[in-house]
Amino acid sequence: MADLGPPADVVIVGAGVVGAACAYYAARAGLRVAVVEAGAIAGGTTGSGEGNLLVSDKEPGPELDLALASLRLWHELAEDLAPADVEYEPKGGVVVAEAPESLAALTKLAEAQRSYGVRAERVDGAGLAELEPHLAPGLAGGMHYPQDAQVQPMLAAACLLRRARELGARVYTGVRVVDVVATDQGSEGRITGVVTSAGRLAAGAVVNAAGTWSGEVALLAGVSLPIQPRRGFILVTEPLPPLVRHKVYDAGYVANVASSSAGLETSTVVEGTRGGTILIGASRERVGFDRTLSVPVLARLAAQAVRLFPFLERVSTIRAYRGFRPYLPDHLPVIGPDPRVEGLFHACGHEGAGVGLAPVTGSLVAAALTGAEPAVDLRPFRADRFDDPPTPADQQHAEQPYAERPGEVRG
C-alpha cells in the first residue's frame, strides 16, 4: 500500500471541533500535523450541535475547571479567528425555575459554582422579565450566567482547521483510519502510524478525536473506551427579529445533562442565532446510531418551548435535525496520553460539551504531545479509568463501526 503523505509527528483522527482544536494547538506548538477524517469537516456531532460555551450547566468538579479554562481560550480564539468568522456571541445564559423549590436548587448549585470562579446572579420573576421580555409570566425566578457564550460550531471547526493549515497541518477528508500500527514492546506497543483507506501514514503519535466513534478507533489501537452515542434532536424556527437574548433553559436541563439514564429525557432549551433562527431543544436518549426522526420527541420539545416562550406558538419551524453525543458513564471526557499504549492520545467523550471544551482539550493534548506542563490536572480524564469490568449498559455496541460508517449528514 502506498503512503498517504509524508511522515507526521502526530495524526489526529477526526475533524470535528475537538480534532480541529487539537490540530491548531499542535501545529502552533511546532509539530507536523496530519488530520484524517472519515467524512466531512464537522460532519458528525459538531455539525449537529448548538455551539454552546457553557459554565452554567457544570457542577463543581473537573469538568467545570475545564469549562472555565476553555471559556478564556475561546475569547482569545475569537479575536484570533475574528468573531464574525465563528459567530462568537458572549451573550450569557439564563436558567429559569418555575417553582420556588427549583429556584432553591439553582441557588444552591450557583453558590457552589461561585467558589470555582463562576459568575452567577440570582434574579426574581421581575428580573427575568428584564433579561428576557418574552418569557412566560409567573416564573419563580432564575440565575443569570454572564460568562455563557455561543459560536457557530461548523464555522468554528473550519476556522480552526484553516489556521492549522496555515501553520503547516495537512487535512485529509473522506479517508478512514482502518488500523493503528504499533510496534510490540513486551505486552505493550509504541505507535508508529496508521493505515487508512487511502494509504499508510507514519507518525509517532495518534490523537483519537473521533467523537462518537472514538471507542472504535481505540479498539484499532488495542484498548477500550466505553463511549456510546446519545441521540438528541433540535428544532429550528423561521428567521425572526431578535426575540431571545440569551441561551435560556429550564432547571431540569442540568439534571438531564448529568443523568445516566438510557431512556428519553427532555428539557426546555431556547436560544437565538446570528442568522435570526431560534434553536429549540433538548432531548437525550441512548438508542445506538438510530437516525429515525421522532415526531413525538419533536412535538414534546415544541410544547415545552411554547410553555416557556408563548410567542413561539405562532412561529413556524423550518427543519429539525439530530445528532449523537459521545457519552461516557462518568460524564467526563478522556483527554491526554493513554498509559496502555505509548504514543496514543485521546480527545473524546465530551458528550454535549465538545464545542465549549474544544480549545482547552486541544491545548492540553498539545502540551502532552510536547512534554509541556498541562494547565489542568489530567488525572480525572485518564483513559484507563474504565478498566474495571464494564456494566451491561457499558457493553452495548455501536451499530455502525467507525471504519465502515459513511460521513454524517446534518439534516
Asked whether residue 219 falls in the same domain as residue 263, the answer is: no
Q: Which amino acid is at 231?
A: R
Identify whether residues 142 and 33 lie together within a single domain.
no
SS3 content of the chain, % helix, strand, coil (to 5): 35, 30, 35
Q: How many residues does the chain have?
A: 411
User: In the block, which residue shows the cell 496530519?
Assistant: 34
Q: Within this chain, do residues 109 and 137 fall inside the same structural domain, yes or no?
A: yes
Last residue of a domain, one of 266, 296, 327: 327
Residue 397: CB atoms within 10 A of its CB come to: 9
Residues 393, 262 within the same domain = no
Query: What three-state secondary structure class fits 16?
Result: coil
- Can you give the pLDDT at residue 83? 66
Structure letter (DSSP) for residue 221: T
Q: Indicate which CATH number applies to the domain containing 276.
A: 3.30.9.10
DSSP class of residue 120? Answer: -
Whether 134 and 162 map to the same domain: the answer is no
What is the pLDDT, as a whole number, of residue 406? Answer: 36
> What 3-state class would DSSP assign to 112?
helix
Q: Is the per-residue pLDDT at 390 higher than 60?
A: no
Mean pLDDT for the stretch of residues 304-326: 96
Are the beta carbons of 233 and 294 closer than 8 angstroms? yes
Rounded to whole angstroms, the Cα distance separating 381 from 391 reads: 19
- SS3 labels along 359-384: HHHHHHHHHHHHCCCCCCCCHHHCHH
Check residue 11 and give its pLDDT.
Answer: 98
Which CATH number belongs to the domain containing residue 347 in this structure? 3.50.50.60
Q: What is the pLDDT of residue 188?
A: 61
Residue 320 domain-assigned (yes or no): yes
Q: What angle do CA 148, 93, 14 make, to 5 degrees?
A: 45
Nearest to 55 by CA among 126, 122, 135, 116: 116
Averaged pLDDT for residues 292-311: 96
Point out the domain boundary residue: 304, 327, 350: 327
The number of folded domains in the chain is 2
Indicate if 311 and 300 belong to the same structural domain.
yes
Tell me if 388 is assigned to some domain: yes
Mean pLDDT of the chain: 91
Which residues span the domain enclosing 259?
Answer: 93-146+229-327
Based on the fold, state whether residues 131 and 257 are members of the same structural domain: yes
pLDDT digits (tens, 9 = 90+) for 317-343: 999 999 999 999 999 999 999 999 999
3 state DSSP class of 81: helix
Rounded to whole angstroms, how far apart are CA atoms 409 and 403? 17
Contact assessment for residue 302 and residue 243, using Cβ atoms and an 8 Å cutoff:
no
Would the pLDDT of 48 be above 70? yes
Provide the pairing of β-strand 52-53 with 121-124.
unpaired
CA 35 to chain centroid, in Å, comes to: 18
Residue 257 shares a structural domain with residue 376: no
In-domain check, residue 2 = no
Distances from the Cα of 274 to the Cα of 90, 91, 130, 165, angstroms? 12, 11, 21, 27
Q: Write out the three cell numbers for 240.
A: 425572526
Tell me the pLDDT band of 404, cut-offs 50, 70 and 90: very low
Instruction: Note whether 27 and 170 are within 8 A (CB).
Output: no
Is the pLDDT at 267 greater than 50? The verdict is yes
Does the residue 35 lie in any domain?
yes
Question: Of the residues 297, 327, 357, which one is the last residue of a structural domain?
Answer: 327
302 and 245, same structural domain? yes
Residues 191 and 299 reside in one and the same domain: no
Whether the Cβ atoms of residue 136 and residue 125 lie closer than 8 Å to each other: no
Q: Which residue has the cell 488530520?
A: 35
The answer to whether residue 56 sits within a structural domain is no
Question: Do 136 and 109 have their domain in common?
Answer: yes
Please give the sequence-ordered ranges of beta strands (E in DSSP) within 2-101, or none if there are none: 8-13, 33-37, 52-53, 93-97
Ramachandran class of 346: left when φ > 0, alpha when ψ lies in -120 to 50, beta otherwise: beta
Query: Is 77 inside a domain boundary?
Result: no
Residue 53 inside a domain? The answer is no
Pair (296, 394) in one structural domain: no
pLDDT band (50, 70, 90) for residue 3: very high
Residue 71: inside a domain, yes or no?
A: no
Q: How confident is the model at residue 257 (pLDDT cuts 50, 70, 90)?
A: confident
Q: Are 54 and 93 in contact (CB under 8 A)?
A: yes
